[in-house]
Structures are given as C-alpha cells and as structure tokens.
Amino acid sequence: MSAARQVVVEADGGSRGNPGPAGYGAVVIDPATGEPLAETAEYIGVATNNVAEYRGLIAGLTAAKALFPEAGDALRVHVRMDSKLVVEQMSGRWKIKHPDMKPLAARAAAVLPPSSVTYEWIPRAQNKHADRLANEAMDAGRDGRQWEASASTAVLDAPARTPSTLPPVQGPPGDQVAGAAKARAALAAARGAADTLFPVPEPGVPDTTAPAAPAPGQPAGTASEKAGAPQQQPSGTPQTGWSSAPDLGAPATLVLLRHGETALTPEKRFSGSGGTDPELSATGRGQAERAAEHFAALGTVQEIVSSPLRRCRETAAAVAGRLGLDVRIDEGLRETDFGAWEGLTFGEVRERYADDLTAWLASPDTAPTGGGESFAEVAERVAAARDRIVARYAGRTVLLVTHVTPIKTLVRLALGAPPEALFRMELSAASISTIAHYGDGNASVRLLNDTSHLR
C-alpha cells in the first residue's frame, strides 16, 4: 500500500484586459518545511482571468501528482488560491453556471480523485508566489517567448511559510520529498504531459478554452457578457474596437457601480457629501446583493475601490464579501457637496433658491447655495482620482463603487463631452457602467446604466 503524502499547491492566473494576454502560475510546497518543491507557469494567449486561474489550478495539481507518482491515491493535495470563484466552485459550494467554466472544472477534478484534494481561499497577499509566476508568464508572452523556470525570481516574492501556517503533514515526517532536483525533473515531465492534454497557444493565438470572440462591430456589454460568460477579442484587435487603431496594450477597465438605494433615492432628493450620510434601505441592500451575485458569476473584478460615504461602503462590502477582495477608499469618489440643497427635492430647491438654481444649471463653475461644490470642482477631483486608479491598476479590472455625479463625470470626460452632458444621462441606483482607459490617455465607454442584473 502506498504511503500517504501531502503537499500544498498555491495557484493563480491573470489576464491583462480580461480578456487579454493571460498566464498562470502554480507552486507545489512541502507542508513539513514550507519550502517550494516545484514551480510552473505558462503564457496561454488571449483568455479571461477565470480561465487563467483554472489553468493554474490544473497545472498545480498535475505537477503535484507528477512529483509523487508512487503515492497513487494516497496523495493528498491542499489547494490555496485567492480566487473565490474557483475555490467555491471546486469545493462544491457554488454551482458552475457558465459553460466555459464547466470543462475546466472537469479537467481539474480529473487530475486526482476529488476526495484527495481540499481547497482554501487565501487573501491575495498570501498568494504572491503564484501571482508573481503568472505575471512572469504574461511578461514572457508579451516578449514573444515562454516562461522558463531557470529565469524565475518569483520565490523572492513568496510570503514566509512555516509548518505552523500550512496544513499538517499526513504521512511519514521527513519522507515528503526527494529533493528539489528530482522535483524539477518530475515537473518537466509533467509539463510535457500537460501540454499534450492542454496545449498552450502560440503568442497572439486566442486560447481555445475561452469563448469565441464577438463578431466585428459587436459592442461590449452583450447579453452573454451580462450573463457572466467571459468574452474575448481576436488577437491583435485593439480594445477600443477601432480596427485601425494601434495596439495600446491591456487597458485599466473601470467598472462603475452606483450605490444601492437609500431612503432619499426614490424621492429624488439631493443626497451628496455635505449633509447626512444615509445608509442603504432594504431595497438598496437587496440591490447590493444582486450586484454581488452578478460580479461573482462574471468573475472579472480584480480590485474594489469605494467612495468613503456609507451607502457606497455598504454596497462595496456586499460585493467584496462574495469576491473575497479588500475595499480601498478613495476620497475623490465621494458625491458632490450640495450645500444647503442637501435633502431637498429639485422642486423644493427651485422654490427656495430659484436664482441660485438657474445659475447652477447654466454654468459648471457655479456652486449650490451655502458653500457646496461646483461641477467644475467635482470634475477636477474625480479626474485626479481616475488618474490615480488607472496608474495603480494598469491592465486590471477595477470596480469603483460611487455616486451619480462622479460616474457621469467619468463618462463625460471619457467621451470628451461638454459639462452640460451631465444633465443628459440617466443613472439608476445600483446600475453598472464601464470605461476602458488606455496607456496613451484615451478611453472607451463600453457600457452605461446597465440594470439587467437587478431583474
């Protein structure tokens, strides 16, 4: 009978554009010492984050199996990933609803008996080793080559691991590994076998495990995207959608979520940052939960940034809880300070401050009565927040949970529209809009005021 052995696998995947150039990384770890036994990473062409994460899981499980072929069914693998979606789906707690994920999950489940593998979600900060491997693979793909283990420095980013921070060893102490040289040799053979089962596309060739690209001219935000199915574009097609535009690389994709309803929302009262800080109503909390379900199914959001106001923080927390992400606060995303108009309806403001309201509607430089903010002032701080976020999260998909004026301002600036465009956009509670920002400063509005996830 084979001796029981246990290893830990940490895996990750990423896509610069989602979909865009993608790669995965995985490391096999000895739980008795915390030392890495083997690493693997690959550039996989154009794919989504979820596809890359599943590919990382498959590669990590395959590598673990190859390290201990003599263990057979006695091998136990504890998987640690920062992908809430993959961990919950492979653990059987979340249904795998999307057809593009089902074959990948089936491949992962087929590597080892399901009873031999356990799953744990960990924060991204604890998954730096695999994350760095995935980024090395994407860097290699960008340069037209494949990742090489001999050139990897990912281990330098690895968090400190000790036996106390890892699952306990289930097997004879000191008999878990045959040494790093044997581990890497076994992994090389495993990588060759994995390439046969899951061939890696040449750089620039779309990953066949991801769905087909939309037809030319098809806009982003189609029904399949809203249903959560990952989409990709043909290799070489710029993300702006203009076939003659230069390749600007993966954009920073800002997904703009307006907070859910408060008690003031249905009454259309001015609710900014200069008065009360209302909480979400029961309706608003339900909207936040449906938004969370939508983003969990979609699997594209990598970071969350929120306005500091309570209604946004509550909405962001609902999404973050489902995705297993942290929420950063950016003061620049707060709503306009409406001064003395806070809590009033438009009609009440017209009745009390008719001249001020007329001046405010006529000029973006005019502030509301009582020391509020002008739209010009709001645009300045929102643009500064945008620039910070785009620089920090280049190539990533970021959920911004904010308010009517900041979202309309971001859309207006992306379109190069005049200030009066703010009065010509509808923006419902808990609606979703999307803007892609490119390295040359240009932007592409992909979605506006989508509420399909609330129905």
Q: Kindly list the catalytic residues.
A: 259, 335
The CA distance from 455 to 283, in Å, is 13
User: Euclidean distance between the first and final Cα of the chain, in Å?
Assistant: 56
The CA distance from 163 to 156, in Å, is 19
For residue 284 the two structure tokens come to: 């608003």
For residue 296 the two structure tokens come to: 């969990």
For residue 313 the two structure tokens come to: 């923080």
User: Is cis: bond before 19, omega within 30 of 0?
Assistant: yes
Beta-strand pair 432-437/443-450: antiparallel
The CA distance from 147 to 429, in Å, is 45
DSSP 281-315: -HHHHHHHHHHHHHHHHH----EEEE-SSHHHHHH
Distance of CA 165 to the CA centre of its chain: 26
Q: Which residues of 151-190 are buried (b: 16+ CB within 10 A; e: fewer)?
A: ebebeeebeebeeeebbebebeeeebbeeeeebbebbeeb
Residue 398 makes CB contacts below 8 A (sequence gap 6+) with 252, 253, 254, 255, 301, 302, 303, 304, 305, 389
Helix (H) or strand (E) holding 328: strand 327-329
Are 285 and 301 within 8 A, CB to CB?
no
The CA distance from 87 to 122, in Å, is 10
> How many secondary structure helices (H) and strands (E) does the chain include?
12, 11
DSSP 71-105: GGGGEEEEEEES-HHHHHHHTTSS---STTTHHHH
Helix (H) or strand (E) holding 46: strand 36-47
Length of the chain: 455
